[in-house]
Amino acid sequence: MTNPTAAMLVIGDEILSGRTRDANMSHLAVELTKRGIRLAEVRVVADDPAAIVSAVKALSSGYDHVFTSGGIGPTHDDITAECIAEAFGAAFGVRDDARAILQVHYDANGQELNEARLRMARIPEGADLIENPISAAPGFSLGNVHVMAGVPTIFQAMVASVLPGMTGGDPVLSQSLRINRGEGDIATPLSALAEAFPDLSIGSYPFMQDGVYGASIVIRGTNAGQIDDAMTRLAKLFPGDIA
């Protein structure tokens, strides 16, 4: 069975401006790999409703799962939730269950659940809430789209909450080998190796260290035996150049 696929949609002007570095993509990729779900695409869009709706529709129709990060806070530019509702044609407004979660949280902290904070209780009709053990404000899943906060600690907690309920595939395994030869020297035999193992992903990542040009070859797949065979053949191709 082919492993399920996933895409990630990163939302926020602050990412595109360079003001904030996205730390969530690498975390999601690692966790999905453990689960046997292949992260196949990542998009970054601005805080623009049309761009968000368009991206959600395209990714939702193209992949088994879509994870979004950013834009579900209490400020005016947090517009992800209503854009997800629009993309699915769902009614949208303050939900009693989400409001109750926020009420308990802010009461416990001696704070008011004011109009701004109440924005975080606006959830599309039909969505399932995603637990947020860090700051209470929930994410949600609608269809195959899982909407999460952009703050890394909260995003990670939400991923941990959602993944156990997903059907994964075979865990993706990998091995790597450093070769002290430039990519121009290894490209042809590496291409032949890739053709011999079509079920594996073979990537070449160049480096320069102490004046030496080389490449780290990473072989990925779900079949440990095939990976071992490919690594053995790779080592034999460059016996005197292995770092």
Residue 50: the pLDDT is 97
Residue 97 within any structural domain of the chain: yes
Residue 191 is part of which domain span?
173-237
Sign of the dihedral defined by the CA atoms of residues 48, 49, 52, 58, in that order: negative
Are residue 27 and residue 129 in the same domain, yes or no? yes
Show the tokens assigned to 35.
Answer: 């689960």
Are residue 13 and residue 69 in the same domain, yes or no? yes
Domain count, the chain: 2
Residue 210: the pLDDT is 83
Are residue 14 and residue 112 in the same domain, yes or no? yes
Residue 242 within any structural domain of the chain: no
What CATH number does the domain containing 221 carry?
Answer: 3.30.70.600
Residue 214: the pLDDT is 93
Residue 243: the pLDDT is 67
Counting as low any pLDDT under 50, the low residues of the chain are 1
Are residue 183 and residue 151 in the same domain, yes or no? no
Which amino acid is residue 123, in one-letter code?
I
Residue 58 within any structural domain of the chain: yes
Show the tokens assigned to 110.
Answer: 């001696």
CA distance linking residue 102 with residue 96, whole number of Å: 10
Provide the 3-class DSSP secondary structure of residue 75: coil
Residue with tokens 């065979």: 229
Show the tokens assigned to 111.
Answer: 């704070």
